[in-house]
Structure formats: structure tokens, C-alpha cells
Amino acid sequence: MGHENKKRVYCLKAKPLYAAEVHGLYHQRVVQPLFCHCNANDELVALVVHLREQLMALDLYQVSKAYPDARWFFELGDRYYSQVTSFIHVTHKMVYFSGHLLPYDSPQFQSCAIPIAELLFNQGEFKNIDPVVHYHPRVKGLIDEIVSKEAELNRRFDQACALERLVDAMGELDEVTSVVNTDLEAHQHRLKMEASELSHQYDQLERDIEVLSLKMLYQCFQVQVGDWVASNVLTRGKTIQLVVASASYSNGWLFINGTNVTQKGVVGKRDERIALKVLSDEH
């Protein structure tokens, strides 16, 4: 592939992290870089692949490792700081870097994330996917977790909608409460805080479900985000080729989502989906 000889350098915007201080306040670190530079060379790609294999094998959410090759740029016209202690962090879908300067011993700042699919490129090597998922105990366990979290997700959604309606109804009572000298502002504030917490829980459940779906995909086919896959769609008699971006499970079907790959081996612009039937356990 033509891209394998190209040199790629990422210039990633850096953002500060905050740490709790002794008096319970949050304090921003004084020295903050503007950018993080890293070379997307073969060594980095190999490291990311290795760390993600560990992540999958150990059933983790994130794997981190010291990475001295990340360079942090602090001011325009200034040089790189060589004293930064840097780390690389790999999740199922993203790669990012963090760092800190002495005398601190925990991350002060981190870069924005790079999608793994973009970093790997995979060099056009396709993995063939069987249109069915074979049911076994590990798959069943993941499906049970997904179904349980989806039920919790639906409960959180219903609760958030009910709270939103209650807040709106209390807002319409302002004129009435002012007459009887009853202040509902404190109650409204508490309800809004509860609604915000429900929204946070909802988002976290969505992320958990996607991670479980990706684990299921890996368990069945050893396929991860960024891999190039091909599958025959039996009902249409054609082959779908895509770069894996995400996975999802619903009602006995595992879906692989991503960007299409053309017959010329070039990543296209169209979203594609491969639907895989999960076979029921016959025993």
C-alpha cells in the first residue's frame, strides 16, 4: 500500500488536568504545554497493537505504559521540554498521551485522542467474517451483561424524562407559589442535579454496552476497531468490506459498523454495517 512508506507526525492539542488540593479545592497546574507531537511510526503502531491485545486478554477498559517518545511543546518559539515524564494510554477505540513535570508524580496534562482505526491503517489486510456467531458460554455471558445494562439504560431514560417533566411542571407553578410565599427554587435545583446525574449514568451505560459489544466481537472473531473485515451477505449475494469503527448487539444480532472499503482497496466515505446472526445454543 502506498501509505506504508509515508511519515506521519501527529500534533495533538494538549489540555490541562486538575488535582485535588489539601483544602478540598481544585488547582490548575502552572506549567501547561500547548501541543503533544508523536511520530506514527512502525514502533508506535506495534506498541498500540500489543497494548490493545493486553487490554482484550485481561478484560480491561484501558492499558497505559511509559512512553518517552512523546514530545510536549510549551510555547510558540520555545523548544520541547525533555524533562516530561510521558505515558501512552490505549482503550478499545482511542489512543492518547499524558505527562507531568517534576516535582509532580501524576499526570498534569493530556493530549486529545487519536482514533485507533486512523492510526493503524491496517495496510489493506482483510479478515473474513462468518455471517453467524457461534454461541458459547463466554458469548452468553457478554450477551447477558449487555441485556442487563440495556434494561438499566431504559430505566435511566424513563427516570430522566420523568424528572424533566417534573421540573417543567414546577416551573409553571412559579406564579402560584409566589402568592402563597412558597419557594420552589431549591427543589428545582435538586431535581436538575438529579437529572444531570441520570444523564451521566445514561452516557456511561452506553459506553459500557459498546465496550461489551466490542469484547463480544473480539471473542468471536479476534476482530477489533481499526481492522479491515469482509463478509458475504447471503441475502444479497455480495461482499461487504469495511474498516471496523464500532459494534453493537440487539435481539440476537451482532452488528459491525464502519466505513466502507472500495474494491480498489481504498477507504471510502460511506457508512456500512455487517449483520451477524447469533445462533442459539442447541444443547
**Predicted confidence pLDDT, tens digits, the chain (283 residues):** 444 445 688 899 999 887 554 444 444 445 688 899 999 888 999 999 899 989 988 888 899 999 999 988 876 555 556 678 999 999 998 999 999 887 778 888 999 999 988 887 666 688 888 877 877 888 889 999 999 999 999 998 888 888 877 777 776 665 555 544 455 667 777 777 887 888 888 889 999 999 999 999 998 888 889 889 998 865 566 788 999 999 999 988 999 999 888 887 788 889 999 988 887 755 3
Q: Whole-model pTM above 0.75? A: no
Give φ, ψ of 196 to 5 degrees: -65, -40
199: Cα within 13 Å, side-chain hemisphere:
9
Q: Dump pLDDT digits (tens) for 156-200.
A: 888 888 887 777 777 666 555 554 445 566 777 777 788 788 888
What pLDDT does 235 receive?
A: 55
Torsion 52-55-61-64 (CA) sign: negative
Helices then strands (H, E): number in the chain?
5, 17
Burial 200-233 (b: 16+ CB within 10 A, else e): ebbeebeebbbbbbbbbbbbbbebbbbbbbebee
What pLDDT does 183 receive?
A: 59
Q: Residues 6 or more apart from 102 whose CB is under 8 A from it?
A: 83
Give the C-alpha separation, 169 to 197, whole Å.
20
What pLDDT does 22 receive?
A: 44
Residue 24 is classified by DSSP as S
What pLDDT does 244 receive?
A: 92
Burial 89-113 (b: 16+ CB within 10 A, else e): bbbbbbbbbbbbbeeeeebbbbbee
